[in-house]
Amino acid sequence: MKYYGTKNNKDYGFYKENFENAIEITDEYWWLLLNEQNLGKMIIPFNNSVIAVDEDEYSFENNVWKKLTDDEVQKKKIAKQNSAKKAELEAQLEELDKKRIRAVAEPSEKEDGISWLEYYNSIAENLRAELSKIS
């Protein structure tokens, strides 16, 4: 047998010995939970049990795990995707800023009538427009 819970009210884990408010589980279920965790799931206490869940399906509010509705799950996934896209666009803008600085120092033209700075500025403008749609 294993026991799941927290001894210090903040760090949850598995233990061999029983303690106050611990949740008892079998060794087989413990192995199943660990396998699920290796697949990217999160182990949480829920309704006097221990379960492995996708992190997008639950939230931790007021020291209690809550199962999210389908709409809440969708909003959480979209927020995560937007956050990743925003970070990607910001990294692209950061890299583009370095190129724009070089373009000021090197006044050669990319094409007839278009300087490298103008070219990079147009790309930056498009990235900022895409970024403003997310923010």
Phi and psi angles of residue 124, each rounded to the nearest 5 degrees, phi first:
-60, -40
User: What is the distance between the alpha carbons of residues 126 and 121, in angstroms, rounded to a whole number?
Assistant: 9
pLDDT tens digits along 117-129: 899 999 999 999 9
Residue with tokens 């403003």: 132
Residue 7 has pLDDT above 90, yes or no: no
Higher pLDDT, 9 or 64: 64
User: What is the distance between the alpha carbons of residues 81 and 83, in angstroms, rounded to a whole number?
Assistant: 5
Please state, rounded to an integer, the average pLDDT across all residues of the chain.
91
Whole-number pLDDT of residue 11: 84
Higher pLDDT, 26 or 10: 26
User: What is the distance between the alpha carbons of residues 106 and 120, in angstroms, rounded to a whole number?
Assistant: 13
Nearest partner of 123 among 113, 98, 112, judged by Cα: 98
Q: 3-class SS at 47?
A: coil
Residue 113 has pLDDT above 90, yes or no: no
Instruction: Give the contacts of 15 (CB within 8 A, at least 6 positions apart).
Output: 2, 3, 4, 5, 7, 22
User: pLDDT band at 67, cuts 50/70/90?
Assistant: very high
Whole-number pLDDT of residue 53: 96
pTM (two decimals): 0.62
Whole-number pLDDT of residue 95: 94
